[in-house]
Amino acid sequence: MSLLPIVIAPDRRLKARCLPVERIDDNLHAMIQNMLETMYDAPGIGLAAPQIGSDKRVIVVDVAREGQDKQPYCMVNPQITLKSDEYVMMNEGCLSLPDIFIDIERPEKIRLTYLDEREEPRELEADGLLSRCIQHEIDHLDGVLHVDYLSRIKRELILRKLAKQKPTLMAERAERRATAE
């Protein structure tokens, strides 16, 4: 397993629509394991394939609190089948947009289908933080970032600022990865 560099916005790989996975092979298994390791190391509660430069419809999520047992979900081709009528506001962050937190209103509960890492079809009902995190990660698979919920002016301001900080942020993270391995 290895830690992967996380793509930082603005980057066109974060704006692409990802492709469904046809088969879960050894390469995809390795990618999923690396995504989990990279997410835990960040640390973060979710990571989507475009954030490591892949265009596959794959996300990993673990919203367990510190001190709790790990509760990883590896989801291939996740698809939301039902959204609650009730919406809630939550503050979201993103590993690809460091230190940018945004209040977003989304459905409180969702139902979804996906394939697990063994290619078993699964169905899940989620609410609270798990629902929120899954919705954020599935957005990534369609090239949607949390800043896309803002007005164009606010979004462009944030992305311009990030573009300037990017070389420094990437160097800091590369250094961290080098010391971690």
> Can you list the positions of beta strands (E) in 10-160?
46-48, 58-61, 73-83, 87-92, 102-107, 110-115, 121-126
- Is residue 104 at the binding interface for Ni ion, with CB under 5 A as the rule? no
Angstrom distances, CA of residue 15 to CA of 51, 71, 86, 107: 10, 28, 28, 23
Distance between CA 126 and CA 168 in Å, rounded?
Answer: 37
- Is residue 162 at the binding interface for Ni ion, with CB under 5 A as the rule? no
Measured from the CB atom, is 27 or 165 closer to Ni ion? 165
- Is residue 94 at the binding interface for Ni ion, with CB under 5 A as the rule? yes
- The span of 78-86, 90-98, 154-162, 164-172 binding Ni ion (CB under 5 A) equals 90-98
Provide the 3-class DSSP secondary structure of residue 126.
strand
- Is residue 76 at the binding interface for Ni ion, with CB under 5 A as the rule? no
Residues annotated catalytic, as ranges: 137
In the complex, minimum distance from the CB of residue 151 to Ni ion, in angstroms, rounded to a whole number: 19
Measured from the CB atom, is 117 or 137 closer to Ni ion? 137
Angstrom distances, CA of residue 54 to CA of 13, 109, 133: 8, 28, 19
By CB under 5 A, the residues from 122 to 151 that bind Ni ion are: none
Residue nearest to Ni ion (CB): 94
Summarize as ranges the residues that interact with Ni ion (CB under 5 A). Answer: 94
